[in-house]
């Protein structure tokens, strides 16, 4: 029996039903529109034939046109009584081909209320399976190293790891320390119609607001996050157990210079695993066995006239699964460049090499070289702006206005 | 409370939001009123110089109860303190910039040496964060003038950087013609509070970055968008530099659209009252430090136009409505010849609003101090039989429930 019977659907009914507001002029909320179109030409050169059914991993060479990870979002925010603010976001993205998610995936359908010290989020949104973000083309470019992997996923799409139906509460201390408790319903391949909470966790993150990046503090962000999946215990059929993961992350301002900016980000993920998994015979084994992964990335950002000009990043990751008989590990090297060719418009070039070793080879293939060249156009605009962000300089340094 | 009760309560409180301002003539009210006019700036006599000190910093201003925004304030006040000197005084103003933005001070209407005029890049370089600038000039001409920041004026003026500057004439012809004891200064402004918030945030972020580069000696004219001459500007554009009004804009694309209108930094119901007595003349100095025209109309009176931009009008004339255009000052004399409480407001009623809701903004009142207390009683002189005192308790109770105290004036926030 599940430990959490409170379902997202039930809560949704309570919160979304709403009340009549009486006669009067509706207050037009702030409306935000944002989109990113990222289109690349990808060249793959693969070795090994994976059992995981992902076409771009198949042995051989191929070139494809890729617009995945492009998204469109629309949101609305408005002031509530007693210093609170309410927000809704509706967004969709375009997943990789043949991932079972269709042409369009609704990755954001959520409502959030917040005040100066509290944030409550309900709905489908980005999960706490990663901390911070790395400057790769797409969020999932090194997902096996910088995301806690969803053990309910079939592995053929990456969205299963990034998004879930969440209940999340965050308490903010001194504007910078975010303590979050959360429960999620992760998409389950084997039981897609189960909306019960199947994940629970918490995180503590110290984060310097973006508006204060030029304070030149060495630590820009540091935090830990625990995600625990409520899964069936293979060692005791009929009962459940927790699969626990712990992620830790640090972002360091190595050279916080307005023109020549250098930072370094490092993430470690420890999967405490399920006892008794000693072979990789399926994707479940891969996500549920004990593992340690590290991913680090150094970035140089050149800014010209107070705007990004170009950016070069170099990263590497290593993951080992120590309890797998015969050994299993993988590593990745990645490097990319963004060059600004106009407002919001970037030219992109990225190379990635990924190698799987030992018992991972039958599942994921042996290795892959990937070259990508493309263009990205991203934009966001708030219309009818009527209040400030919690992290603006005015609110942080000159008195917070509710 | 069920849903129906909730709706009913909400409707009642929205339609009938009425508060009670208390006794306008009480000692406490008058003390509070003093804070609603520009505060006099004290000076130190240094030889022949009257030395004043001004500083600027970010401060939260509450124009009306329940709404606040960040401003740039001289000496922590919006408007800044009033500088009052005599004609011919030697004036020295030590200006310290405590904010992280650049500023100057322009002496609007004053005949100062040109290097003291406060126009950045024309008469001086800007006063940078934590820097000082000393302005020195002789107080002339006489009359009602004002000072304001001349750096980034689209933001800095509507963000609060203005104050009155009065040059008194020992042989004031206006005072001789219209003897008066009391005078008031009213400084009008209009604010797009959303523009102020967004642009001030962006400027503060940029200045954090710029200050760092300045401290390292790595700041340049292209980054600042400041050029020695047109040749240098053209050369930069030829080499690929984009002017900020083209593809690299820094400020919001729209022209500010004011949504709050203030008198002395306050909007109705927090605007000041003008007190007068029957038979008394009062002088009112009107200053428009904002970017909107205010068509000011006084009820129940014609007033004398006695000075235009500080310059005495040789043959004053009477009117009851005056268009106060941006940058303009007028002095008017109001004669106390019609006892009562009279509103004095912008007749462009779009500016008698707070965030688009009437009433608000530029709405204030001329109040006779000798108004008998019983004339304030609603039921006593009401033309509406419903409010007349019939001696029936039920009616009194109903009136009390509907209107609160049986007394005028009241504060109405939603008509």
B198 CB neighbours in chain A (<8 A) are 385
Closest of A115, A331, A148 to residue A229, by C-alpha: A148
- The residue-averaged pLDDT of B302-329 equals 98
| Same domain, residue pair B351 and B378 | no
Would A217 be classed as within a structural domain?
Answer: yes
| Same domain, residue pair B209 and B168 | no
Residue B188: CA count within 13 A, CB half-sphere: 30
| Same domain, residue pair B166 and B275 | yes
Chain B residue set in contact with A, beta carbons under 8 Å: 3, 6-7, 10-11, 14, 58-60, 68-70, 194, 197-198, 200-201, 204-206, 208-209, 212-213, 218, 222-223, 241-242, 247-248, 250
pLDDT tens profile B58-107: 999 999 999 999 999 999 999 999 999 999 999 999 999 999 999 999 99
Residue of A nearest to B10 (CA): A22
- Report the pLDDT value the prediction gives residue A1, as an integer from 0 to 100: 39
| Same domain, residue pair B229 and B353 | no
CA dist B319 and B45 (Å) reads: 41
**Testing the interface with B: which of A24, A214, A256, A383 to mutate, by most B Cβ within 10 A?**
A214
Would A286 be classed as within a structural domain?
Answer: yes
pLDDT tens profile B182-200: 999 999 999 999 999 999 9
- The residue-averaged pLDDT of A58-83 equals 94
What are B39's two structure tokens?
A: 């505060």
Full residue range of the structural domain in which residue B228 is found: 194-238
What are B188's two structure tokens?
A: 């009008």
Inspect the interface and report whether the beta carbons of B247 and A259 lie closer than 8 Å. no
Inspect the interface and report whether the beta carbons of A398 and B58 lie closer than 8 Å. yes
Instruction: Give the burial class of B323: count Cβ atoms within 10 A of its Cβ; 0-12 exposed, 13-18 middle, 19 or more buried.
Output: middle
Would A97 be classed as within a structural domain?
Answer: yes
Choice between B400 and A183, residue whose per-residue pLDDT is larger:
A183
Residue A269: CA count within 13 A, CB half-sphere: 31
| Same domain, residue pair B79 and B206 | no
- Report the pLDDT value the prediction gives residue A99, as an integer from 0 to 100: 78
Inspect the interface and report whether the beta carbons of B204 and A394 lie closer than 8 Å. yes
Query: How many other C-beta atoms can be found within 10 angstroms of the C-beta atom of residue A2?
Result: 12
| Same domain, residue pair B20 and B31 | no
Inspect the interface and report whether the beta carbons of B201 and A392 lie closer than 8 Å. yes
Would B246 be classed as within a structural domain?
Answer: no
A345 CB neighbours in chain B (<8 A) are none
CA dist A310 and A304 (Å) reads: 9
Place B408 in a pLDDT band, splitting at 50, 70 and 90. confident
Inspect the interface and report whether the beta carbons of B208 and A385 lie closer than 8 Å. no
Place B395 in a pLDDT band, splitting at 50, 70 and 90. low
| Same domain, residue pair B308 and B320 | yes
Would A86 be classed as within a structural domain?
Answer: yes
B324 close to B293: Cβ distance less than 8 angstroms: yes
Report the CATH number at residue B313.
Answer: 2.60.40.420
| Same domain, residue pair B171 and B157 | yes
Would B102 be classed as within a structural domain?
Answer: yes
How far apart are the CA of A80 and the nearest CA of chain B, in angstroms?
14
From the list B10, B11, B248, the residue facing A305 with the nearest CB is B248
- Report the pLDDT value the prediction gives residue B258, as an integer from 0 to 100: 97
- Report the pLDDT value the prediction gives residue A100, as an integer from 0 to 100: 78
Would A18 be classed as within a structural domain?
Answer: no
| Same domain, residue pair B20 and B85 | no
The ipTM of this complex is 0.88
Q: Concatenated DSSP letters for B106-162?
A: EEET----GGGS--BTTTB--B-TT-EEEEEEE--S-EEEEEE--SSHHHHTTTT-E
**Testing the interface with A: which of B59, B73, B197 to mutate, by most A Cβ within 10 A?**
B197
Inspect the interface and report whether the beta carbons of A393 and B201 lie closer than 8 Å. yes
Chain A residue set in contact with B, beta carbons under 8 Å: 19-24, 211-212, 214-216, 257-259, 305-307, 342-343, 385-388, 392-394, 397-399, 401
Would A21 be classed as within a structural domain?
Answer: no
How far apart are the CA of B185 and the nearest CA of chain A, in angstroms?
29
Would B248 be classed as within a structural domain?
Answer: no
Would B245 be classed as within a structural domain?
Answer: no
Q: How many domains does chain A have?
A: 1
Would B253 be classed as within a structural domain?
Answer: no
From the list A212, A258, A307, the residue facing B212 with the nearest CB is A258
Q: How many domains does chain B have?
A: 3
Full residue range of the structural domain in which residue A90 is found: 28-397
pTM beyond 0.95: no
Would A9 be classed as within a structural domain?
Answer: no
| Same domain, residue pair B139 and B275 | yes
Can you tell me whether residue B97 is helix, strand or coil? strand
Residue of B nearest to A390 (CA): B201
| Same domain, residue pair B268 and B398 | no
Would A196 be classed as within a structural domain?
Answer: yes
From the list B58, B194, B248, the residue facing A386 with the nearest CB is B194
Place B401 in a pLDDT band, splitting at 50, 70 and 90. low
| Same domain, residue pair B219 and B343 | no
Report the CATH number at residue A98.
Answer: 2.40.160.10
B91 close to B50: Cβ distance less than 8 angstroms: yes
Inspect the interface and report whether the beta carbons of B223 and A306 lie closer than 8 Å. yes
Asked if residue B144 has a cis previous peptide bond (ω within 30° of 0), the answer is no
The DSSP output letter for A176 is T
Query: Residue B350 above 80 pLDDT?
Result: yes
Inspect the interface and report whether the beta carbons of B60 and A385 lie closer than 8 Å. no
Query: Which CA distances in Å does A258 have to A31, A299, A304, A337, B129?
Result: 31, 14, 9, 19, 18
- The residue-averaged pLDDT of A304-313 equals 92
Place B390 in a pLDDT band, splitting at 50, 70 and 90. low
How far apart are the CA of B223 and the nearest CA of chain A, in angstroms?
5
């Amino acid at each position: 029996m599940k430990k959490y019977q409170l379902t997202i659907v039930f809560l949704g009914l309570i919160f979304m039903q709403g009340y009549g507001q009486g006669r009067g002029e509706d207050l037009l909320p702030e409306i935000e529109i944002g989109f990113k179109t990222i289109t690349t030409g990808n060249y793959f050169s693969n070795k090994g034939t994976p059992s995981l059914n992902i076409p771009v991993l198949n042995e051989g060479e191929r070139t494809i046109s890729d617009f995945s990870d492009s998204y469109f979002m629309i949101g609305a925010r408005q002031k509530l009584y007693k210093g609170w603010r309410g927000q809704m976001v509706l967004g969709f993205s375009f997943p990789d081909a043949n991932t079972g998610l269709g042409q369009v995936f609704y990755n954001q359908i959520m409502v959030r209320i917040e005040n100066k010290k509290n944030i409550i989020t309900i709905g489908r949104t980005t999960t706490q399976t990663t901390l911070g973000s790395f400057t790769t083309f797409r969020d999932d470019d090194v997902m096996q190293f910088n995301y806690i992997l969803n053990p309910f996923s079939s592995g053929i799409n990456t969205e299963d790891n990034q998004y879930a139906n969440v209940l999340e509460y965050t308490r903010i201390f001194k504007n910078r320390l975010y303590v979050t408790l959360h429960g999620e319903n992760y998409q389950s391949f084997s039981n897609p119609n189960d909306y019960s909470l199947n994940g629970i966790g918490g995180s503590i993150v110290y984060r310097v607001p973006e508006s204060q990046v030029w304070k030149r503090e060495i630590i820009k962000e540091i935090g830990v996050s625990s995600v625990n999946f409520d899964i069936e215990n293979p060692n005791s059929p009929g009962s459940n157990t927790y699969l626990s993961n712990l992620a830790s992350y640090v972002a360091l301002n190595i050279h916080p210079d307005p023109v020549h900016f250098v930072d370094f980000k490092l993430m470690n993920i420890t999967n405490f695993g399920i006892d008794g998994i000693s072979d990789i015979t399926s994707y479940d084994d891969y996500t549920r066995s004990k593992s340690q992964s590290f991913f680090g990335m150094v970035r140089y950002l050149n800014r010209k006239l107070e705007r990004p000009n170009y950016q070069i990043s170099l990263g590497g990751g290593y993951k080992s699964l120590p309890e797998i008989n015969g050994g299993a590990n993988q590593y990745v090297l990645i490097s990319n460049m963004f060059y600004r060719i106009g407002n919001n418009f970037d030219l992109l070039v990225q190379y990635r090499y990924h190698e799987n070793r030992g018992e991972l080879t039958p599942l994921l293939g042996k290795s892959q070289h990937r070259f990508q060249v493309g263009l990205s156009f991203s934009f966001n605009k708030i219309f009818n702006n009527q209040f400030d962000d919690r992290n603006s300089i005015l609110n942080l340094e000159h008195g917070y206005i509710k | 409370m069920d849903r129906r009760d909730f709706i009913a309560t909400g409707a009642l409180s929205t339609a009938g939001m009425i508060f009670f301002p208390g006794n306008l003539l009480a000692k406490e009210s008058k003390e509070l009123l003093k804070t609603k006019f520009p505060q006099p700036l004290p000076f130190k006599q240094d030889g022949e110089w009257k030395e004043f000190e001004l500083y600027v910093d970010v401060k939260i201003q509450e124009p009306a109860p329940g709404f606040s925004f960040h401003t740039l304030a001289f000496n922590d006040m919006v408007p800044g303190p009033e500088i009052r000197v005599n004609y011919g005084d030697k004036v020295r103003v030590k200006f310290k910039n405590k904010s992280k933005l650049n500023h100057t001070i322009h002496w609007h209407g004053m005949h100062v040496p040109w290097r003291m005029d406060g126009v950045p890049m024309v008469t001086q370089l800007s006063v940078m964060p934590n820097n000082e600038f000393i302005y020195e000039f002789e107080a002339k001409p006489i009359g009602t003038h004002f000072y304001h920041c001349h750096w980034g004026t689209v933001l800095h003026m509507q963000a609060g950087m203005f104050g009155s500057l009065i040059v008194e004439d020992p042989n004031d012809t206006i005072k001789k013609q219209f003897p008066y004891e009391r005078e008031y200064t009213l400084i009008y402004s209009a604010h797009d509070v959303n523009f102020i918030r967004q642009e001030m945030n962006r400027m503060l972020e940029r200045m954090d970055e710029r200050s760092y580069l300045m401290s390292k000696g790595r700041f340049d004219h292209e980054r600042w968008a400041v050029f020695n001459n047109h040749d240098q500007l053209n050369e930069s554009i030829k080499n690929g530099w984009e002017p900020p009004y083209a593809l690299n804009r820094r400020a919001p694309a729209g022209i500010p659209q004011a949504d709050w209108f203030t008198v002395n930094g306050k909007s109705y119901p927090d605007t000041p009252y003008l007190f007068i007595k029957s038979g008394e003349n009062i002088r009112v100095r009107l200053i428009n430090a904002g970017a909107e025209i205010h068509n000011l109309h006084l009820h129940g009176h014609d007033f004398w136009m006695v000075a235009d931009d500080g310059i005495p009008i040789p043959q004053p004339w009477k009117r009851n409505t005056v268009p106060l255009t941006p940058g303009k000052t007028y002095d008017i004399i109001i004669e106390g010849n019609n006892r009562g409480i009279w509103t004095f407001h912008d007749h462009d009623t779009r500016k008698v609003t707070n965030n688009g809701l009437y009433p608000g903004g530029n709405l204030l009142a001329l109040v006779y101090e000798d108004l008998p207390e019983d004339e304030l009683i609603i039921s006593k002189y009401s033309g509406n039989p419903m409010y007349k005192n019939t001696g029936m308790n039920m009616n009194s109770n109903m009136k009390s429930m509907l209107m609160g105290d049986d007394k005028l004036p009241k504060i109405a926030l939603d008509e």
